[in-house]
Amino acid sequence: MSGFYTCIGRRSRLLSDLFYLSLRTYVRSVPYHRTLPADTERLYTEVTQSIAEPYGKTYTWEIKQTIMGLQRDEAAEAIVAALELPLTPAEYVQISTERINRVMEECQLMPDTEKIYESILGNLLKSYNSPYPWATRMKVMGTTEQRTCSILVNDLKLPCTVDEFLAKFRRDQLLCLGKAPLMQGAERLVRHLHQHQIPIALATSSGADSVEVKTKNHRELFELFGHKVMGSSDAEVKEGKPAPDIFLVAASRFPDRPDPSQCLVFEDAPNGVTAAIAAGMQAVMVPDPHIEEDQRKNATIVLRTLEDFRPEQFGLPAFST
């Protein structure tokens, strides 16, 4: 019988990094890429922009796409170069790590936060009898809190100052983020695989310290993973995504060291998908809706959410109805 493993890869979402599962059965050769879970992407974006803003630089979506899935040091080097910041990559890492940890601790961050932010801003605008146009949503996407509030107050002509709106926004997000749910379908999938004794592993480009902060509210769920590979602090991971190192290392640490062809990767980032395919694995992609179509083409299959994943397509036990 052949073994089957599943990997989930992703830098900033909980449960979205690397997930390997091993099944004692024959597996159909269908490629699948996808990342499981928690959406902390906005916080990473805000921290990056907060560092760039004093130098008159903007962290654009185009730049963001090129660094998704990279390890910490590689991402820092790419960001410093792309934005032409007067910092060394090491200085950038130090500043960003301090800010990310502080924000995550203050917000008690949990998985799928993007919808929470949308709801907070939408409700705040309702209190001013103001709509939240799609064009405005796109304009604030990826900006810092200060910039977001400035755009909303000025573009929507709200009867308040930017500081007043910002204070209300921060108050509401602290109340709401601690209640944020896991990304849709993530917990069900992890528990299903564990219940059927399918070995799973987490492979993330984040470092151990960052993973500790991000998963502290989900200790029990993350204990279901057989092992974890933290690319930014693991000596065996020589190169980050799109290189295949992190997935190959994760696979090698399963007791029976499965062949890469027996591994299934769940990814959300184009670089992660490229890494999985380069490792000789199948991949399921659950991308950010703003990722262009040509950035998705290498995935074995693309899903809207993890709820759409059908284990039986890969010879795995089907979800119980």
Rg (CA), the chain: 20
> Do 288 and 192 belong to one domain?
yes
| Maximum average pLDDT range among 13-17, 27-31, 143-147, 279-283 | 279-283
pLDDT at 140: 72
pLDDT at 171: 78
Query: Domain span at residue 158?
Result: 117-179
Q: Is the pLDDT of residue 46 over 50?
A: yes
Q: Quote the number of domains for the chain.
A: 2
* Model pLDDT for residues 293-303, shown as the tens digit of each residue: 888 899 999 99
> Do 224 and 295 belong to one domain?
yes
Structure tokens at 203: 């492979």
* Model pLDDT for residues 206-248, shown as the tens digit of each residue: 667 656 756 767 789 889 999 999 887 888 988 878 889 999 9
Mean pLDDT of 102-115: 48
* Model pLDDT for residues 131-149, shown as the tens digit of each residue: 998 778 767 764 556 778 8
- 164: CATH: 1.10.150.240
> Do 131 and 14 belong to one domain?
no
Find the largest Cα–Cα distance for the chain.
Answer: 68
Reduced to 3 states (helix: H, G, I; strand: E, B; else coil), residue 290 is: coil
Q: Please name the amino acid found at residue 277.
A: I
Lowest mean pLDDT among 72-81, 147-156, 167-176: 167-176
- 215 in a structural domain: yes
> Do 218 and 267 belong to one domain?
yes
Conformational region of residue 56, where left means phi above 0, alpha means psi within -120 to 50, and beta covers everything else: left
Considering the chain, what is the average pLDDT of its residues? 77
Angle, in degrees to the nearest 10, between helices 89-107 and 41-52: 130
- 83 in a structural domain: no
pLDDT at 133: 85
Residue with tokens 């219940």: 195
Question: Which of 157, 179, 201 finishes a domain?
Answer: 179
- 133 in a structural domain: yes
> Do 301 and 268 belong to one domain?
yes
> Do 208 and 296 belong to one domain?
yes
> Do 139 and 214 belong to one domain?
no
Measured from the Cβ of residue 174, the count of other Cβ atoms closer than 10 Å reads 12
- 110 in a structural domain: no
> Do 121 and 197 belong to one domain?
no
pLDDT at 32: 28
- 47 in a structural domain: no
- 216 in a structural domain: yes
Q: Is the pLDDT of residue 123 over 70?
A: yes
Lowest mean pLDDT among 3-7, 20-24, 68-72: 20-24
Q: Enter the pTM of the model.
A: 0.57
From the list 266, 227, 274, 315, the residue with the least C-alpha distance to 19 is 266
- 320 in a structural domain: no
> Do 270 and 255 belong to one domain?
yes
> Do 278 and 196 belong to one domain?
yes
Residue 8 or residue 58, greater confidence:
58
> Do 217 and 172 belong to one domain?
no
Question: Which of 159, 179, 199 finishes a domain?
Answer: 179
- 275 in a structural domain: yes
Q: Work out the pLDDT band at 12, boundaries 50, 70, 90.
A: very low
Residue 34 or residue 41, greater confidence:
41
Q: Is the pLDDT of residue 268 over 60?
A: yes
- 283: CATH: 3.40.50.1000
| Maximum average pLDDT range among 50-59, 135-144, 180-189 | 50-59
> Do 236 and 143 belong to one domain?
no
| Maximum average pLDDT range among 18-27, 44-53, 272-281 | 272-281
Question: Which of 137, 156, 179 finishes a domain?
Answer: 179
pLDDT at 33: 29
Reduced to 3 states (helix: H, G, I; strand: E, B; else coil), residue 270 is: helix
pLDDT at 231: 81
Q: Rounded distance, CA 246 to CA 229, Å?
A: 7
